[in-house]
């Protein structure tokens, strides 16, 4: 029981950065914009959060800096992909390559330094629930924030006018535009939200998960999150489930080693990537189903009046 | 107010001016960056762009870095022309290096002219096998190739790390994660004696020529172009999309695999974890910058090769972080895509509508 509780708690921690970035990308894709630059925005969030925390001594400042960095990066993308109607694949790739380079450049002087990262804050009463209390209510504040973000996104998409407008922009921008919706503004906002969430996810890595900065510390999580959104059929509840599933896959090697399983670290480190491919296979083999769930205008630039 | 207006016809001038414009903008940004860091910008840019190619030794090093970039880019060109978004050149490259090394280590004591070809073919096949995985996932299981190729890159890297830490680890290597040095008969001959430049560059140039012939002269090149430009038209014409997808992936895997094999049998001579500084990813920039054209990717691969060497020189000479290479590459791609928008669009000054209607009205009266 003790082991199970710890494994589940670690799963939630490992799944949290994925949840944060995937929720942002979910909103972005629902507006019809596919931003492949998640990895770049996360890395910028991670380095900005770390450097800001180190210099200011405040984790709150670090988190804010990470969100700002993520949004800033996403605006570069939005300018290319939304305003200039550039190919979204290419623009997203550019964002990842640029973010990887820029974060490594900015963080070069901070490798090897350490900060006091986020620590667990138990929520009174709730944390006393057996198993579940430790797993969900005795975590660091960013885990709680990710759960609030999840609830917010789910509610926004399903029960608010804004959510409806967002989905309209993603499904049929022409019709939405004809109804007076400023599609480009909606898409800018959605991209900005995605950027902020990716920045926050990066901050989770450099301020809570492993409170330090190393080059490329996201290790493909931004890409896994993109697969996660496909896996979730663009639905928030499935994003939550998927994030923890992938979280479990990424700590499986620690669990197996803890149980005395003898295997190479490198081989086990492949697991999350293999699981991602398997998930994609499972979810995509039926093209009709994929088409049914994908936001109709996903990946297509929109130019009003053309 | 400035207005972005679609051009009636795409600008062919802008198509080729865009990379130059992007380079100029990148250099200007670099200039500002040096100033901001309190370094001499002229000196910095000279170290980055001029110093590396100011003597024969430097040019040879440039060719050395060009070889893998050009090979990878040639294969990616075939994919991207058909709008197959293969991001997996890095993985094909690593598998090529791994496959070649496994064979080379077995043949370490064999002295025969056949050793090198066998090793290179092994690497090429390994790259193709890795690409075939992504091709099968796309054509038969309908998986998005961007995501699968990225994941396969990470898996390939871990496989390579596993191999150098495990089965291929040199038992007398003082614990370093690396293979034994290959035998002399498994090493690529030098192109220019006394430098490290090896036959790999010739492979790259040959691949570029092959790409040119393919798209200028061959039916399959034509089919790939049509599939890329209009999927429906290709279907009506009866071009098999599946077959073309497999073809593009296998070419991409073969060239990148050969690049990986050339890297371990060329300058390195053994398998090490850091066999690629990201050649497979940089090759993507090469393809875009080179306009998916054979000659273009040759020039672009030289420029991007320069960024690897320039970054190293700045690190030594001006105590700058080596990451300046990645920053420069990212900036370049960013500016390029921005400038590319003006192939299809132009900026026009939008005049207020009211006075112009008024003047027309008076004119008619």
**For A27-49, how does the pLDDT look when each residue is reduced to its tens digit (9 = 90+)?**
999 999 999 999 999 999 999 99
A121 strand-pairing partners? A139
What integer pLDDT is reported at residue A306 of this predicted model? Answer: 55
pLDDT of residue B353: 57
Question: Does B344 fall in a domain?
Answer: no
Q: Output the CA torsion B108→B109→B112→B118 (10° steps).
A: -30
Contact yes or no for A240/A19 (Cβ under 8 A): yes
Mean pLDDT value of segment A233-260: 87
Counting the structural domains of chain B, the total is 1
Q: Taking residues B10-39, what's their average pLDDT? A: 90
Residue B6 within a domain: no
The parent domain of residue A59 ranges over: 2-117+131-293
Q: Which residue of A273, A292, A304 to mutate against B (max B Cβ within 10 Å)? A: A273
Say what the pLDDT of residue A302 is: 84
In the numeric block, which tokens belong to residue A209? 């998960």
Nearest to B178 by CA among B306, B51, B81, B264: B264
Tell me the angle at which helices A88-107 and A59-78 cross, rounded to the nearest 10 degrees. 140
Q: With the CA atoms of B279, B285, B288 and B294 taken in that order, what torsion angle do they form, in degrees rounded to the nearest 10?
A: -30
- The alpha carbon of residue A2 is apart from the nearest alpha carbon of chain B, in Å, by 32
Contact predicate B19/B336, CB 8 Å? yes
The predicted pLDDT at position A305 comes to: 65
- Spell out the residues 6+ positions from residue B143 whose beta carbon is closer than 8 angstroms to its own: A277, A280, A281, A284, B137
The span from the CA of A19 to the CA of A15, in Å, is: 6
Report the alpha-carbon distance of residue A13 to residue A143 in Å, rounded: 7
Residue of B117, B247, B233 whose CA lies nearest to B186: B117
User: Chain A contact for B37, CB < 8 A?
Assistant: no
Q: Residue A65 has what pLDDT? A: 97
C-alpha to C-alpha distance for A166 and B243, rounded to whole angstroms? 38
Instruction: Tell me phi and psi for residue B163, to 5 degrees.
Output: -65, -45
> Given CB atoms, is A105 within the 8 Å cutoff of chain B?
yes
Note the pLDDT tens digit of each residue in B169-183. 888 888 888 998 998
pLDDT at B196 > cutoff 90: no
How is residue A248 written in tokens? 């479990």
Question: Which residues on B lie below 8 Å from A109 (Cβ)?
Answer: 321
With an 8 Å Cβ cutoff, are B284 and A280 in contact? no
Question: Which chain B residues in 191-220 lie under 8 Å from chain A, judged by CB atoms?
Answer: none
d(CA A103, nearest CA chain B) in Å? 8
pLDDT of B175: 81
Q: How many inter-chain contacts (A to B, CB under 8 Å) are there?
A: 139
Confidence band, pLDDT 50/70/90 cuts, at residue B222: very high
Looking at the domain assignment, is residue A24 inside a domain? yes
Q: Which residues pair with B345 in a beta bridge?
A: B6
Q: To probe the interface with A, which of B146, B157, B339 has the most A CB atoms within 10 Å?
A: B146
Query: Is the CB of A281 inside 8 Å of chain B's CB atoms?
Result: yes
Average pLDDT over every residue of B150-164: 95
pLDDT at A3 over 90: no
User: Between residues B194 and A226, which one has the greater pLDDT?
Assistant: A226
Pairwise CB contact (< 8 Å): A93 & B331? no
A71 occurs within a structural domain: yes
Task: Judge whether B224 lies within some domain.
Answer: yes
Alpha helices in chain B (DSSP H): 12-36, 41-45, 56-81, 89-106, 115-139, 145-165, 200-217, 219-229, 231-236, 241-263, 279-289, 294-318, 324-344, 353-364
Mean pLDDT of chain A: 90
Residue B184 has pLDDT above 50, yes or no: yes
Closest by alpha carbon to A88, among B337, B233, B147? B337
Q: Which tokens belong to A15?
A: 């799944």
| CATH code for the domain in which residue B106 is found | 1.10.3470
A268, A272, A273, A276: CA torsion to nearest 10: 140
Average pLDDT, chain B: 90
| Residue A140 falls inside a structural domain | yes
What does the pLDDT read at residue A87? 85
Contacts of B166 in chain A (CB under 8 A): 264, 266
Lowest mean pLDDT among A29-33, A199-203, B360-364: B360-364
Both tokens of B168, joined, read 């291929």
Q: Is the pLDDT of residue B354 over 60?
A: no
Give the residue numbers spanning the domain of B193.
40-55+62-319
Task: Tally the residues of chain B.
Answer: 365
* Weakest-pLDDT range from A196-200, A233-237, B116-120, B127-131: A233-237
Query: Would an 8 Å CB–CB cutoff place A278 in contact with chain B?
Result: no
Q: A287 — contact with chain B (CB < 8 Å)? A: yes
Establish if B333 touches chain A: CB-CB under 8 angstroms.
Answer: yes
Of the pLDDT bands very low, low, confident and very high (cuts 50, 70, 90), residue B359 is very low
Average pLDDT rounded to a whole number, residues A188-215: 95
Per-residue confidence at B75, pLDDT binned at 50, 70, 90? very high
In this prediction, what percent of chain A has a pLDDT beyond 90?
58
Q: Give tens-digit pLDDT for A280-293.
A: 888 777 777 777 77
DSSP assignment of A185-238, as one string?
HHHHHHHHHHHHHHHHHHHHIIIIISSS--TTTTTTHHHHHHHHHHHTTT-HHH
Task: Output phi, psi for A216, to 5 deg.
Answer: 55, 35
Closest residue in chain B to residue A269, using alpha carbons only: B158
* Number of independent structural domains in chain A: 1
Q: Is residue B206 part of a domain?
A: yes
Residue A221, in any domain of the structure: yes
CB contacts under 8 A, B 142-181 vs A, are 142-144, 146-148, 150-152, 154-155, 158-159, 161-162, 165-166
Q: Given CB atoms, is B100 within the 8 Å cutoff of chain A?
A: no
In a domain, residue B68? The reply is: yes
What six digits make up the tokens of A306?
């053309």
What's the CA gap between B115 and A23, in Å, rounded? 52
Is residue A149 in some structural domain?
yes
Nearest to A142 by CA among A49, A239, A226: A49
Inform me whether the C-beta atom of residue A304 falls under 8 Å from chain B C-beta atoms: no
Under the banding of pLDDT at 50, 70 and 90, the label for residue B78 is very high
Indicate if the alpha-carbon torsion angle A279, A285, A288, A294 is positive or negative: positive
pLDDT at A69: 97
B102 vs A: CB within 8 A:
no
A123: in domain: no
Task: Determine, yes or no, domain membership for A217.
Answer: yes
Residue for token pair 């500002």: B32
- Would residue B351 count as lying in a domain? no
Looking at the complex, does the CB of residue B323 fall below 8 Å from at least one CB of chain A? yes
Q: Answer yes or no: do A281 and B327 touch at CB < 8 A.
A: no
In a domain, A167, yes or no: yes
Mean pLDDT of A242-267: 82
In a domain, B222, yes or no: yes
**Domain assignment of residue B4, yes or no:** no
Non-local (6+) Cβ contacts of B362 within 8 A are none
Statement: residue B362 has pLDDT above 70:
no
Compute the radius of gyration of chain A from its Cα atoms: 19
Whether pTM > 0.95 for this model: the answer is no
Predicted local confidence at residue A207, as pLDDT = 95
Contacts of residue B141 in chain A, CB cutoff 8 Å? 280-281, 284-285
Asked if B345's CB is within 8 angstroms of A89's CB, the reply is no
Contact B330 A285 (CB under 8 A): no
Task: In whole angstroms, give the CA distance from residue B39 to residue B324.
Answer: 14
| CA triple A18-A220-B254, angle to 5 deg | 145
Q: What pLDDT was estimated at residue B363?
A: 39
């Amino acid at each position: 029981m003790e082991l199970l509780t710890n494994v589940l708690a670690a799963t939630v921690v490992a799944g949290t950065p994925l949840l944060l970035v995937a929720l942002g990308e979910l909103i972005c894709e629902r507006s019809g914009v596919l931003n492949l630059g998640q990895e770049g925005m996360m890395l910028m969030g991670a380095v900005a959060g770390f450097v800001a925390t180190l210099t200011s001594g405040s984790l709150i400042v670090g988190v804010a800096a990470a969100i700002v960095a993520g949004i800033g990066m996403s605006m570069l993308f939005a300018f290319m992909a939304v305003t200039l109607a550039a190919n979204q694949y290419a623009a997203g790739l550019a964002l990842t390559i640029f973010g990887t380079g820029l974060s490594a450049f900015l963080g070069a002087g901070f490798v090897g330094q350490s900060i006091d990262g986020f620590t667990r804050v138990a929520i009174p009463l709730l944390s006393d629930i057996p198993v579940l209390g430790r797993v969900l209510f005795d975590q660091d504040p960013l885990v709680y924030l990710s759960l609030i973000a999840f609830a917010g996104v789910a509610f926004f998409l399903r029960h608010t006018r804004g959510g409806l407008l967002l989905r309209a922009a993603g499904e049929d921008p022409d019709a939405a535009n004809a109804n007076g919706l400023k599609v480009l503004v909606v898409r800018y906002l959605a991209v900005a939200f995605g950027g902020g969430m990716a920045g926050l996810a990066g901050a989770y890595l450099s301020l809570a998960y492993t409170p330090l900065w190393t080059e490329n510390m996201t290790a493909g999580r931004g890409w896994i999150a993109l697969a996660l959104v496909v896996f979730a059929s663009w639905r928030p509840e499935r994003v939550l489930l998927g994030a923890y599933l992938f979280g479990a896959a990424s700590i499986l090697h620690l669990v197996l080693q803890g149980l005395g399983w003898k295997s190479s670290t490198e081989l086990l480190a492949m697991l999350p990537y293999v699981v991602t491919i398997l998930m994609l296979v499972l979810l995509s083999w039926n093209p009709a189903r994929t088409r049914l769930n994908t936001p109709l205008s996903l990946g297509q630039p929109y130019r009003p009046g053309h | 107010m400035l207005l972005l207006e679609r051009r009636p016809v795409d600008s062919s001038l802008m198509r080729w001016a865009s990379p130059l414009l992007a380079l100029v903008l990148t250099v200007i940004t670099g200039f500002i960056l040096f100033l901001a860091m309190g370094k001499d910008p002229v000196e910095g840019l000279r170290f980055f762009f001029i110093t590396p190619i100011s003597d024969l030794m430097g040019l040879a090093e440039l060719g050395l870095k060009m070889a893998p970039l050009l090979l990878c880019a040639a294969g990616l060109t075939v994919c991207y022309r058909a709008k197959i978004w293969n991001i997996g050149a890095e993985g094909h490259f690593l598998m090529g290096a791994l496959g070649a090394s496994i064979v080379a280590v077995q043949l370490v004591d064999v002295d025969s002219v056949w050793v090198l070809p066998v090793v290179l073919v092994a690497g090429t096949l390994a790259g193709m096998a890795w690409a075939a995985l992504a091709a099968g996932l796309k054509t038969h299981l309908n998986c998005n190739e961007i995501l699968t190729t990225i994941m396969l890159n990470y898996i390939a890297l871990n496989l390579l790390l596993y191999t150098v830490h495990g089965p291929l680890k040199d038992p007398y290597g003082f614990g370093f994660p690396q293979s034994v040095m290959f035998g002399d008969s498994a090493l690529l001959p030098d192109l220019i004696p006394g430098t490290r430049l090896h036959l790999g560059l010739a492979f790259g140039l040959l691949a570029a020529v092959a790409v040119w012939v393919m798209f200028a002269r061959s039916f399959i090149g034509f089919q790939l172009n049509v599939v890329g430009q209009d999927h429906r038209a290709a279907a009506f014409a009866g071009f098999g999309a599946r077959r073309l997808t497999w073809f593009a992936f296998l070419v991409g895997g073969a060239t990148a695999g050969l690049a990986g094999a050339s890297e371990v049998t060329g300058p390195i001579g053994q398998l090490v974890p850091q066999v690629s500084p990201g050649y497979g990813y940089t090759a993507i920039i090469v393809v875009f910058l080179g306009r998916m054209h054979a000659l273009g990717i040759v020039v672009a691969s030289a420029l991007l090769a320069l960024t690897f060497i320039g970054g190293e020189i700045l690190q030594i000479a001006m105590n700058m972080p080596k990451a300046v290479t990645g920053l420069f590459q990212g900036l370049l791609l960013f500016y390029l895509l921005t400038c590319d928008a003006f192939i299809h669009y132009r900026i026009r000054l939008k005049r207020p509508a009211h006075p112009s209607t008024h003047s027309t009205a008076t004119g008619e009266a």
